[in-house]
């Protein structure tokens, strides 16, 4: 292919896109220019590659490019080095799969050398790799949550807020990687929101700067991060922690939803017949993203889990991320039960009819939650460790 600009006439606004590409090549030393046209904001994304051996991706490069694109609200661009893109797509970066492997090469400099050759990549291999990468990344976010219940229980609200800050930061970086192609290394959540303004409004307005309460929470979150790192005192209420937890949960759901939509676009562009779920909730994300067996054949219809029955009645499975979380729930239920016993004759108990009847139901639930078999396992493990210690002494 020569250094000429080639855009398929079937592409919407092909003439305009060619004109923009010509301007881009004139103002910056490009190796490759890819164009991805879709129906979501931004509607068209230019992915530009430069040789960073001789050119730095800095303001001197970005300012003239900004001038090229400033008049086109539905068109934006991202700039990368070929080395970075090659490493990113090897790890399963969905951005380069969607916008380069499945995008259109509009311009290439045949004299330039780059390690990134998306035309040689296979979407059937890359998309499952992207799903695995997303699953691992979300697992790390869940891992950060393990200290949160204990911090909340012990009223260490600065610690709890710091944990939520870390979870939000990681979720933003996950989203940025498959939406922008690279992570923004910033500790201020507002900077992450700004970076995604034109790409993901649902995430970019997690803290709505037009609302005073959201601004306060955003500032409080950053203050909590600084207070934790510098061991400073900061007054935070449990109510504020609960509001920040709700924001974190919302961010997680929106990140999952946008990732599934990006997967769907990739499957559509690749002409795949694989099934993408219509509903974008957590349960279906786990089935779509994590169940690799589902790639081989369309999933069979399944009853909702609360409709799974046996001969004796309904079965409701409760899932906990760790034994610690389970024990926290058990302890909370016991404390509620004790509170009911101690205050059965108080005015507050009047809001609950037959409190002793409900107390029996709670205690029966606690009995079922207790991991009895685990106690025997821990006993055997303790005996084993004692035996090992005796041998070492």
Q: List, for residues 34-93, the tens digit of each pLDDT value.
A: 999 876 778 899 999 987 777 888 888 899 999 999 988 889 999 998 888 888 988 889
pLDDT higher than threshold 80 for residue 260:
yes
What CATH number has the domain bearing residue 82? 3.30.460
Residue-level pLDDT at 316: 66
Residue-level pLDDT at 198: 86
217-223, Cβ contacts within 8 angstroms, sequence gap of 24 or more: 217/243, 217/244, 217/247, 218/189, 218/190, 220/161, 220/244, 221/161, 221/164, 221/165, 221/168, 221/189, 222/165, 222/187, 222/188, 222/189, 222/190
Which range marks the domain in which residue 331 is found? 310-392
Q: What are phi and psi of 199, to 5 degrees?
A: -110, -40
Tokens of 121: 């990549």
Residue-averaged pLDDT of the chain: 80
**Against a cut of 0.75, is the pTM above it?**
no
Indicate whether 276 and 315 sit together in one domain.
no
Residue-level pLDDT at 42: 81
Residue-level pLDDT at 251: 95
Non-local (6+) Cβ contacts of 123 within 8 A are: 97, 101, 102, 266, 269, 270, 272
Indicate whether 78 and 165 sit together in one domain.
no
Yes or no: say if 109 and 135 are a contact pair by the CB < 8 Å rule.
no
Domain boundary among 121, 148, 166: 121
SS3 310: strand
Indicate whether 140 and 108 sit together in one domain.
no
Indicate whether 136 and 66 sit together in one domain.
no
- Domains contained in the chain, number: 3
Tokens of 307: 């409709």
DSSP state at residue 270:
T
Residue-level pLDDT at 357: 62
Tokens of 22: 């010509």
Indicate whether 160 and 214 sit together in one domain.
yes
pLDDT higher than threshold 50 for residue 318:
yes
- Residue 6: inside a domain: no
Give the distance from CA 334 to its chain's centroid. 35
């Amino acid at each position: 292919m020569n250094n000429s600009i080639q855009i398929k006439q079937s592409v919407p606004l092909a003439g305009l896109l060619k004109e923009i590409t010509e301007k881009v090549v004139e103002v910056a030393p490009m190796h490759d220019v890819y164009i991805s046209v879709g129906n979501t904001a931004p509607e068209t994304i230019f992915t530009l590659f430069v040789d960073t051996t001789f050119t730095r991706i800095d303001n001197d490069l970005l300012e003239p490019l900004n001038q090229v694109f400033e008049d086109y609200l539905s068109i934006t661009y991202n700039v990368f080095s070929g080395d970075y893109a090659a490493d990113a797509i090897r790890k399963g970066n969905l951005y380069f799969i969607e916008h380069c492997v499945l995008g259109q090469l509009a311009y290439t400099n045949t004299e330039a050398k780059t390690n990134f050759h998306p035309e040689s990549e296979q979407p059937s291999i890359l998309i499952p790799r992207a799903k695995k990468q997303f699953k691992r990344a979300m697992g790390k976010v869940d891992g950060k949550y393990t200290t949160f219940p204990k911090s909340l229980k012990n009223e260490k609200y600065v610690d709890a807020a710091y944990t939520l800050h870390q979870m939000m930061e990681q979720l933003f970086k996950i989203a940025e990687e498959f939406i922008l192609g690279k992570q923004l290394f910033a500790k201020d959540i507002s900077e992450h929101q700004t970076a995604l303004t034109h790409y993901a409004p649902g995430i970019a307005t997690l803290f709505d700067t037009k609302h005073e309460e959201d601004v306060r929470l955003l500032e409080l979150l950053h203050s909590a991060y600084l207070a934790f790192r510098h061991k400073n005192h900061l007054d935070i209420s449990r109510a504020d922690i609960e509001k920040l937890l709700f924001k974190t949960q919302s961010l997680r759901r929106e990140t999952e939803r946008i990732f599934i939509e990006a997967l769907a676009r990739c499957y559509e562009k690749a002409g795949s017949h694989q099934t993408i779920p219509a509903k974008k909730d957590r349960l279906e994300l786990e089935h779509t993203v994590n169940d690799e067996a589902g790639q081989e054949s369309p999933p069979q219809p399944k009853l909702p889990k609360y409709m799974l029955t046996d001969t004796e009645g309904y079965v409701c499975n409760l899932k906990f991320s760790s034994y610690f979380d389970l024990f926290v729930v058990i302890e909370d239920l016991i404390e509620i039960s004790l509170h009911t016993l101690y205050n059965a004759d108080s005015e507050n108990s009047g809001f609950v009819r037959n409190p002793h009847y409900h107390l029996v139901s709670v205690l029966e639930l606690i009995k079922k939650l207790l991991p009895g078999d685990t106690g025997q396992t821990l006993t055997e493990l303790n005996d084993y460790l004692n035996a090992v210690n005796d041998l070492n002494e």
